[in-house]
Amino acid sequence: MISPALAQFPALRPRRLRQTPALRSLVAETRLSADQLILPLFARPGRKVRREVAAMPGVFQLSPDTLLAEATKAHEAGVPGVLLFGIPDKKDAKASGAYAAKGIVQQTVRLLKKELPSLLVITDVCLCEYMEHGHCGLVHRDAKGARILNDPTLKLLAQTATSHAEAGADIIAPSDMMDGRVRAIRERLDSDGFTDTAIMSYAAKFASAFYGPFREAAESAPQFGDRRSYQMDAANGREALREVALDLQEGADIVMVKPALAYLDLIYRVKTEFGYPTAAYAVSGEYSMIKAAAAKGWIDERAVTMESLLAMRRAGADILITYSAKEAAGWLKVG
Ligand SMILES: [Zn+2]
């Protein structure tokens, strides 16, 4: 790509194009735009609830009414969509709250689609927030210990997905990492008549320590063991590509890499290899680190947030899921 016939110093001086903001902007290879941002929101039952997550300043557990207000502000700032997580009143061993017709996510989706029809509503599909043990699938216990069951879990995930679609969700986002879930969800959506409901799969989701603060936000910490028997090992890049290939074969419309900043190589490889719409999820730990360092006055929150989002775009992400979506959209407007 770089030809030896090109000019060399002193004829070639890259600094010429860095002299003014206008010049730098003219030749910027990557741009950020508010319409690439998605804001994750946490819904819980009740009214007027606005409970801040201790490890994530500025992030709240919200009841449907306050969530609508938050989504409205973000949408007015230019954010096109939200990604919903639910925190039910009751948890059990079969995650009933995940697929209840009047579950917390289903109620919230209905309210958002009624009051803010132009807002894209994406729903996280998983069972962990609704399971008493906090795992993403059904658990089988015997003398050898506890195992997460793959195939019986698929039915519950598909049931959850179709209940979200019925409530009006535009995009279903399965995050459980069970094998075969995208196919199970696609088939169920299609057979229930939701052929136009898209799937954004958490295709390469790693068992990451960066999720720490989220578990408080979603009240979904596993009560025993960890999620390493289903989420990916941080060491594996080629396996991540196989996971993405599987989800695309099974019918995913958009694929996601999660977390984002520590996995930029995979965002790049996924986009380069497959060319599908690719999402990056800047997870809770990434957000909390920036917030904490900024609160200490050690870094500039706005500059570091925008540089991180730009890096995800440069790596190849089309969609940026970030807890800073509303602020970032505001900063982009101000310029
Ligand atoms: Zn889960």
CA of 232 relative to ligand 1 center, distance in Å: 13
> What secondary structure letter does DSSP report for 204?
E
Q: Which residues are catalytic?
A: 205, 258
Ligand 1 centroid vs 200 CA: distance in angstroms? 15
E-strand spans in 50-158? Answer: 50-52, 60-62, 81-86, 120-125, 138-142, 145-149
In this structure, are residues 241 and 249 in contact, taking their beta carbons and an 8 Å threshold? no
Spatial distance between the Cα atoms of 26 and 15, rounded to a whole number of angstroms = 14
In contact, 241 and 271? CB cutoff 8 Å: no
**What percentage of the chain reaches a pLDDT higher than 70?**
99
- Residues in CB range of 39: below 8 A, 6 or more apart: 71, 74, 79, 81, 82, 83, 321, 322, 323, 325, 326
pTM exceeds cut of 0.85: yes
The phi and psi torsions of 205 (rounded to 5 degrees) equal -110, 120
Using an 8 Å Cβ cutoff, are 41 and 82 in contact? Answer: yes
For the stretch 234-264, pLDDT in tens is 999 999 999 999 999 999 999 999 999 999 9
Instruction: Report CA(174)–ligand 1 centroid distance (Å).
Output: 9
Separation of CA 25 and ligand 1 centre (Å):
41
For the stretch 260-313, pLDDT in tens is 999 999 999 999 999 999 999 999 999 999 999 999 999 999 999 999 999 999
